[in-house]
Amino acid sequence: MAVMFDRIGKEAKDLLGKGMDTDKKFTFSTTAFEGLSFDSETCDGDKGVTNSGSFKLEDDSGMDVMYKYEKDKDYTYSFESNFDLAKLAGVDGVDVVLSGNSEATVQAEVKYKDCNAAVSVTGGVVKSKVTFPFSVGVSPMTGVNVGVSGTVLPAFKPAQLYEKVSVNYAQKGSFGLFFGMTKNLKALEARGIYYGLPETTVAIKAEGLTAGAPLVTVGGQYKLDKATKVKVVVAQKDLVIKAGVTKALRKGCDLTVGYKVKADEIANVAKHNIGFTLDIK
């Protein structure tokens, strides 16, 4: 089954990158009534205290609209509206997304997906500059996904058509392999994920394979019980050790505690970073 470009090889990427955040974060989602939902997030991190929120209106007609605000130093506002053409016009597999924000961005995106291909084409203005981002994901055979993405500009160059290229092979419940080339085929990253151990998933990532000195990140996740997962990741770059514990406190309420320290600073308690995310839905 073809997937959108940003989801190719996503499993290993998420295992090695998510669930170990050392910010202090509180997220809250609720449904006021059918068709109207609210989300909010407050974060105490490196940038100080930031917050964001959104509300989304949707119904069975195939249309929805979401308004969002984010507060860092200043407020920024954005909107996104989705149109499911299968419901609105009987055109299967096609969605249209209109979006924009208060920083001079207005875009329209057309997405198409079937069992063989997933295509996204966007056109609009990003911070007052005209851009046409696109991505294509193709599944030539079972378990294989190939993707390419780029951004076409008014001053066209052929290299804009292959800024990122990826290939992923996965056997569900067994293993997955990913190769991604960026910077117009100049930088190569490889990832692998293995599900064969009881209650355990292991992943590895190697970056900079074309630079002669690849940086390796290794991680694993272990499911203690139905409600608790433990994750440990070690990154060769700066020899950083990360860990995370996710606990379902009850249905719709998850607590994740993240931890990070550099190996050469592990003896200094002041250098140990601990944070948490409380997510209520």
Q: How confident is the model at residue 1 (pLDDT cuts 50, 70, 90)?
A: confident
Handedness of CA 192, 207, 47, 45 (dihedral sign): positive
Radius of gyration from C-alpha coordinates of the chain: 21
Per-residue burial over 91-103, b = 16 or more CB atoms within 10 Å of its CB, e = otherwise:
eeebbbeebbbee
What DSSP string describes 181-215? EETTTTEEEEEEEEEEETTEEEEEEEE-TTTTS-E
Cα angle value 40/46/50 (rounded, 5°): 25
CB-based contacts of 207: which residues, under 8 Å, 6+ apart?
187, 189, 214, 215, 216, 217
Residue 241: closest CA among 258, 222, 263: 263
- Contact yes or no for 98/81 (Cβ under 8 A): yes
Instruction: Specify which residues 141 forms β-bridges with.
Output: 144
Largest CA distance in the chain: 63
Quickly tell me which residue has 């929120």 as its tokens: 53
pLDDT value for 72 = 79
5-280 falls under which CATH superfamily? Porin (2.40.160.10)
**19-63 residue pLDDT tens:** 999 999 999 999 988 899 999 999 998 888 999 999 999 988 999
CA proximity to 16, closest of 143, 192, 188, 257? 192
Question: Are 36 and 25 in contact, with CB atoms under 8 Å apart?
Answer: no
Structure confidence by residue, pLDDT tens digits, 125-165: 998 999 999 999 999 999 999 999 999 999 999 999 999 99
pLDDT digits (tens, 9 = 90+) for 77-107: 999 999 999 999 999 999 999 999 999 999 9
167, pLDDT greater than 90: yes
Predicted local distance difference test score (pLDDT) of residue 34:
87
Element containing residue 43 per DSSP (H, E): strand 36-45
Domain map (residue ranges) of the chain? 5-280
Rounded to the nearest angstrom, the gap between the alpha carbon of residue 133 and the centroid of all alpha carbons in its chain is 17
Model confidence at 213: pLDDT above 90? no
pTM of the model: 0.89
